[in-house]
Amino acid sequence: MSVTELFGSSEAKAATPAQTLTIRRPDDWHVHLRDGAMLKAVLPFTAAQFKRGIIMPNLVPPVTSVDAASAYRERILAARPDGNDFTPLMTCYLTDSTHPDEIERGFRDGVWAAAKLYPSGATTNSHHGVTSIPKLAPVLERMEKIGMPVLVHGEATDPAVDIFDREAVFMETEMLPLLKRHQGLKVVVEHVTTAETVELVRAHAGRAAATVTPHHLIINRTSIFQGGLRPHLYCLPVAKRERHRLALRKAVTAGDGNFFIGTDTAPHLRSAKQAECCSAGVFGGATALQTYVQVFDEEGALDHFEAFASENGARFYGLPLNEGTITLEKRPCRVSPTVAVGEEDVVIFRGGEELPWSLGEVRG
């Protein structure tokens, strides 16, 4: 499948040369690819933009063993478009019964790049997750020893906590104690949404980092209700007030090495989104780089984009930087509003809109 087939054609006037930005090939450090027909439908969008991706393990059943991770990796590789070199980086779904030896075996054998900590009940397919972080200490201590990062979905799950406060409460009651107990542990705070979490990450620079999604840079909590309820903008953590969106934009565009791409692209069928109980997740994999580079352009920070997209994450994970380049063009384009999955479809974030930037040539 060609880039034009995936993303549509650009709409620039032939007489006006497009501004271009060529960067080292980027990575996505937080990807939901699902499985089966959904995997085959959505993977080409991520694989066309990113060289590597950290693959979330919250399948049904979750990916909790080395063997399950290896098998899932093979299914992803088999679903890549012909000639594509996308590399999936697998993660372990942590549970109350995860054994340190299994964690170390998977990391030592190069199967797992990291482990994902979902508080039980925090988000999609997280009910097998961790019920007590302190009780996970033997696993976290082993990860600290071997240098394996833990990726944390940072939201409190107490139903008494307001949904817009779940991240803030978790940072205070769970994240700060975790960082204090495990001072050598590498921690990625996933999909940060608040100004306060940005400052927490900066205060623990070097051992803590954060991913930021494209949608949290574009929407705030009001966006979900503009003109009526917009289920395709509902995700967890939910978008916050405008001041938080602006703080995220400032953080990612400031040249701060603690922040890097993590799209949290999370496809759900339209029937699951437009439902009595709407599933949480935004499918942004088809418009991710176009959205990120637009934000950097609007903030006058294109000179910092390559580090955010292609360098900060690899350095935090201790992985080599990618070879090759991708060129982005300031040339309007439209991505399809949806992607078909069997007889249903998935709605694409910003699909159908005129985007000011387009994907150009990938080399190497």
Q: Which residues of 50-69 are buried (b: 16+ CB within 10 A; e: fewer)?
A: bbbbbbbbbbeebbbbbebb
**Three-class secondary structure of residue 100 per DSSP:** helix
216 labelled ligand-binding = no
Among candidate residues 27, 28, 256, 264, the one labeled active-site is: 264
**Residue 328 labeled ligand binder:** no
229 is in an annotated binding site: no
Cα atoms found within 13 Å of the Cα of residue 129, Cβ hemisphere only = 25
244 is in an annotated binding site: no
Q: What's 140-179 look like in SS3?
A: HHHHHHHCCCEEECCCCCCCCCCHHHHHHHHHHHHHHHHH
> Is 264 assigned a ligand-binding role in the annotation?
yes
Tell me the helices (H) and strands (E) count for the chain, helix number first: 14, 15
Residue 264 annotated as catalytic: yes
Q: Give CA–CA dist 88/80, Å, rounded.
A: 10
Other C-beta atoms lying within 10 Å of the C-beta of residue 239: 23
The reply to whether 236 sits in an annotated binding site is yes
Q: Where would I find the beta strands (DSSP E) of the chain?
A: 19-24, 27-31, 52-55, 87-93, 112-117, 150-152, 187-189, 208-212, 259-261, 325-330, 333-334, 338-341, 344-347, 354-355, 358-363
> Is 268 marked as a binding-site residue?
yes
* 360 contacts 49 by C-beta, under 8 angstroms: no
Burial of 164 (0-12, 13-18, 19+ CB in 10 A): middle
Binding site annotation covers 116?
Answer: yes
User: Residues forming the annotated binding site?
Assistant: 30, 32-34, 58, 116, 153, 191, 236, 264, 268, 280
* Catalytic residue set: 264
User: Residues forming the annotated binding site for substrate?
Assistant: 32-34, 58, 153, 236, 268, 280
User: Residues forming the annotated binding site for Zn(2+)?
Assistant: 30, 32, 116, 153, 191, 264
